[in-house]
Amino acid sequence: MWVRLRRAISPVFIGLLCASFILWYILKLQYTYTTTFSVLVNVSGERMSVPCVVEGKGVNLLGYRVYQRKELKIPLTDLKYTITSERGDSGELLGVWYQFDPHSVQSAISVRFSDIKVTSVGDIPLMAAPRELLGEDL
């Protein structure tokens, strides 16, 4: 079967077809696209995945997709946050959490990406905070 197919299709045709596909793909990468992907963020040692909507040239977006496993280190002092607590039915303290402001997270991520624009961020996960931040009276 392969011999029959090889006689029917010229190797030069296959080579030119591959070259034209590569050139078409390179040309398409110059356009501006909007897409979503998760950014790995390390805030003071705690890792979280933040969904972002980004806009940029296809070449730059492809580059960031390739290096998506790389995490951004953002100090806690660069972010605006509120501290929330969770209590059980009997009133005992179950957990203390940092709840981050989406605009501060978006601007902190945008500063660290030079070639693409972060247009919005999705739901930002809560990060555990030390219980001492609330004090015993709360």
Number of neighbours of residue 18 by Cβ within 10 angstroms:
10
Residue 138 lies in a domain: no
Query: 63 and 40 in one domain?
Result: yes
Query: 74 and 10 in one domain?
Result: no
pLDDT at 138: 46
C-alpha distances in angstroms, 27 versus 24, 30, 57, 119? 5, 6, 11, 24
pLDDT at 135: 59
pLDDT at 104: 93
Query: 103 and 42 in one domain?
Result: yes
Query: 73 and 18 in one domain?
Result: no
Query: 113 and 63 in one domain?
Result: yes
Number of domains in the chain: 2
pLDDT at 32: 92
Residue 108 lies in a domain: yes
How many angstroms separate the CA atoms of 86 and 35, rounded? 35
Query: 64 and 47 in one domain?
Result: yes
pLDDT at 68: 67
Domain that holds residue 129: 31-133
pLDDT at 121: 93
pLDDT in tens, the chain (138 residues): 667 766 777 888 889 999 999 999 888 888 999 999 888 999 988 899 999 999 999 888 888 877 767 788 999 889 999 988 888 778 777 788 889 999 999 999 988 888 889 999 999 988 888 766 655 544
Query: 38 and 11 in one domain?
Result: no
